[in-house]
């Protein structure tokens, strides 16, 4: 097993372990890190950097989902998600809600693509125009 894989396995084990188990994993991690050569330590440093980048990317995606939900929070009770999903995206309401809520689909959080966000903007503006055209 290579150094990076071993380190990431120890990290994952620590994350999912109970408090009592963590002490043992920390000791194992310390022994593992002490046994590394300088080049292996550089490999671990790179793995940690890559892990931080992935975490920051995940945070950015979560913030995007929360931002979209916040912007739509006062609109969605008024308009039909079924109508939005069917007429503008040609998808199901479940598909729309998966992206709106950032639900995991095939192991990854679902999100609106840039094109879908443009479609959503168009849909909201189109509905706004239709509503403003109504006169009594």
**What domain range is 12 assigned to?**
1-71
pLDDT in tens, 18-33: 998 999 999 999 999 9
Q: Are both 59 and 8 inside the same structural domain?
A: yes
pLDDT at residue number 49: 92
Please state, in angstroms and rounded to a whole number, the distance separating the CA atoms of residues 126 and 122. 6
C-alpha distance from residue 104 to each of 8, 79, 89, 98 (Å): 22, 25, 19, 8
Claim to verify: residue 78 and residue 36 sit in the same structural domain: no
Name the helix (H) or strand (E) containing 48.
helix 38-72
Percent of the chain with pLDDT over 90: 70
Q: Is 80 in the same domain as 63?
A: no
Question: Is-above-0.75 flag for pTM?
Answer: no
Query: Which residues, 6 or more positions from 57, have their beta carbon under 8 angstroms from its beta carbon?
Result: none
In a shared domain, residues 48 and 114? no
For residue 105 the two structure tokens come to: 């689909």
The closest alpha carbon to 84, from 67, 66, 103, 99, belongs to 99
| pLDDT tier at 61, thresholds 50, 70, 90 | confident
User: Is the distance from CB of 15 to CB of 54 less than 8 angstroms?
Assistant: no
Whether 60 and 79 map to the same domain: the answer is no
Asked whether residue 1 carries a pLDDT value surpassing 80, the answer given is no
If asked whether residues 44 and 106 sit together in one domain, one would say: no
How many structural domains comprise the chain?
2
Query: Are 65 and 82 members of one domain?
Result: no
């Amino acid at each position: 097993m290579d150094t990076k894989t071993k380190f990431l396995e120890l990290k994952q084990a620590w994350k999912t372990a109970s408090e009592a188990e963590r002490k043992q994993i920390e000791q194992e991690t310390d022994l593992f890190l002490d046994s590394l050569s300088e080049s292996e330590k550089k490999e671990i440093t790179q793995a940690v950097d890559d892990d931080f980048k992935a975490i920051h990317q995940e945070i950015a995606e979560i913030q995007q989902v929360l931002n979209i939900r916040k912007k739509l929070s006062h609109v969605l009770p008024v308009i039909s998600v079924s109508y939005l999903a069917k007429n503008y995206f040609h998808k199901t309401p479940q598909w729309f809600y998966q992206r709106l809520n950032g639900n995991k689909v095939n192991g990854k959080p679902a999100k609106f693509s840039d094109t879908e966000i443009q479609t959503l903007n168009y849909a909201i503006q189109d509905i706004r125009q239709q509503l403003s055209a109504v006169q009594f």
